[in-house]
A = this chain, B = another copy of it.
């Protein structure tokens, strides 16, 4: 069993969405190293799939990449917030959709080397329309694509957001298994 023991943890930054610590750790051979760790409350993301096999996607500017990206609806968790409730809330706020059926798709750890974020994934089905209510400062465009087109985009490398790739491919496989 591999392990690392914390000797000291120093907080470098505490912001609106993340916290950064630099820790001194003892490795299993007794040597000492440092760990730069981003702390984040995690996120919830939800793939809204209608009866015709079409998915509502969100296009928005992502500052870290200097460009627009296409993603499934998602949002940050508040401290202690239930991820399923957060996913359902984001689906309504960003897309104006309410789902009668919500299925867990597991969770992903986006960047295990230095970030403790967990993103919880859900599949939303049996959708009803309501009015979107984006947060102030959130600018987004909705698009719909067939699940098959999104799968092809993921396989071709055109869809890159990790939570979106994971949710699309898991949904395709679960449906294939259900039908198989």
List A residues at the B interface (Cβ < 8 Å). Answer: 1-4, 12-13, 15-18, 20, 22-23, 25, 27-29, 31, 33-38, 40, 43, 59-65, 68-69, 71, 76, 104-119, 136-137, 139-141, 151, 154-158, 160-163, 165-166, 169-170, 172-174, 177
Contacts and interface: CB of A to CB of B under 8 A. Distances in A.
23 contacts: A1-B68, A2-B140, A2-B141, A12-B12, A12-B13, A12-B20, A13-B36, A16-B34, A16-B36, A17-B114, A20-B20, A23-B63, A31-B137, A106-B155, A106-B156, A108-B162, A110-B111, A110-B115, A111-B111, A115-B115, A155-B173, A155-B174, A155-B177
Nearest to A37: B64
Q: How many copies does the complex hold?
A: 2
B16 A113 contact: no
Nearest to A156: B106
A165 B33 CA distance: 29
Contacts of A163: 162
A65 B35 CA distance: 12
The 5 closest A-B pairs by CB, nearest first: A106-B157, A110-B110, A2-B61, A169-B169, A64-B116
Contacts of A113: 17, 43, 62, 64, 76
Given A31-B136, A111-B111, A118-B160, 8 more contacts: A17-B113, A28-B139, A38-B64, A40-B111, A64-B114, A76-B113, A106-B160, A154-B170
A65 B28 contact: no
A113 B130 CA distance: 26
A161 to B, nearest CB: 5
Given A23-B63, A137-B31, A162-B166, A112 B13 contact: no
